[in-house]
Amino acid sequence: MPKRTTIQDVARAAGVSVTTVSRYLNGRYDSMSEKTREKIAAVIAELGYRPNALAKGLKAQRTETVGAIVVNMSYPFCVGFLRAFSRTLGEAGYHLMVAESEGDARRERQLIESFVANRVEAIALQTSGDNNDYLADLAREMPVVLVDRAFAIPNAYAIGTNNRDVSREMAWQLFDLGYHWVVYLTEDARGIPTRTDRLEGYLEACRVALREPVVMRVRRGDPASFRKALAHVAACACKARTAVYTANGLVLMECYRSLRALGYQVPDQLGIATFDEPDWADLVDPPLTCVRQPVEQMGETAGQIITARLRGEEVASGILVVPSSVVMGGSTARD
């Protein structure tokens, strides 16, 4: 039996989103060019697509389901966000579907399309930034909330934190504690505003403190990049008091044991600090200095925005900044 043509097949062949095809099928041509309509019509005729009558009938019904896409479900930020988000939605009578993109833009697009095909009523996600045009199109049809990576997308909502300011504060406090070098370990920052802002905050602190910035770029899952970075840390630490500041908790988790294995006394010779507050921050000795993000508040706020919109209430779109704070631990204590 030949495979039935799906709406995803039509969208792929026409080079448009599933949402655009759905709008075409429902006669909603606003903001749709004549060229796009003609292209979709031609593809439908060529592929012999026939909308599923049952699915079309169900379309008018509410699913009371919301989708969430995060980069890494083992990441403490994502765990905390999803817990608060799910609780807030549950209190309003909504169910949550969760998926993991692994930071891959193509997989993210596929997951969004899958959620749309399963008729979720809203989506919250940590986006790669490579699907922003598609998300802008989707945001005209349903509530879309960007979390953590706060891109400005028309009609969408974004919830982020003061990455630049609090990263500058963290680095400045490390210099103020007497560390001559603060080595910043980060993944490639290009295109991801959280990474870019945290790096800029660190660089600003270096300029104010009149210290030379030391930025080492690593790739999670690539031991060679971490070995190179830690060799540089050791070279700094053998000359002067040094602190390592990682751009997120996943980077620190991948190199923490190796940092301790360098043999320098923490915190007197080597300080350790990270953006994010890993769930094991208080379990190590000494406890970690970290940037605490308001994860619970961000999850609750995302849930409140979506439930308000689904109730038909007006909510101003744009970027909402919820401030983070530096939490000093024993890993960077003063002499």
Q: Along the 335 residues of the chain, how does pLDDT read in single tens digits?
A: 456 778 888 888 999 888 888 778 766 776 788 888 889 888 888 887 876 544 554 455 678 999 999 998 888 889 999 999 999 999 999 999 999 998 889 999 999 989 988 889 999 999 888 888 889 989 988 999 999 988 888 889 999 999 999 999 999 999 999 999 999 999 987 778 899 999 999 999 999 999 999 999 999 889 999 999 999 999 999 999 999 999 999 899 999 999 999 999 999 999 999 999 988 999 999 999 999 999 999 999 999 999 999 988 988 888 999 999 999 999 997 65
Q: Kindly state the tokens that stand for 265.
A: 């006394």
Amino acid 1: pLDDT? 44
Angle at 154 between CA 153 and CA 157, to 5 degrees: 65
Identify which of 254, 288, 282, 283 has the alpha carbon closest to the alpha carbon of residue 270.
288
pTM: 0.78
Could you tell me whether strands 157-160 and 289-292 are parallel, antiparallel, or unpaired per DSSP bridges?
unpaired
Sheet hosting strand 65-70, strand order edge to edge: 95-100, 65-70, 122-125, 144-147, 157-160, 318-321
What is the domain partition of the chain in residue ranges?
A: 1-61, 63-161+294-323, 163-292
63-161+294-323: what CATH class? alpha beta
Nearest to 64 by CA among 23, 19, 119: 119
Give the homologous superfamily in CATH for domain 1-61. Answer: lambda repressor-like DNA-binding domains (1.10.260.40)
DSSP string computed for 97-144: EEEE-TT-HHHHHHHHHHHHHTT-SEEEE---STTHHHHHHHHTTS-E
Six token digits for residue 215: 């930025």
Report the candidate in 295, 68, 307 with the shortest Cα–Cα distance to residue 159: 295
- Structurally, at CATH architecture level, domain 163-292 sits in 3-Layer(aba) Sandwich (3.40)
Residue 252, token pair as written in the block: 């620190």
User: Quick check: do 63-161+294-323 and 163-292 share a fold?
Assistant: yes
- Rounded CA-CA distance 332/330 in Å is 5
Query: What pLDDT, in 10s, does the model give residues 86-136?
Result: 999 999 999 999 999 988 899 999 999 899 888 899 999 998 888 888 899
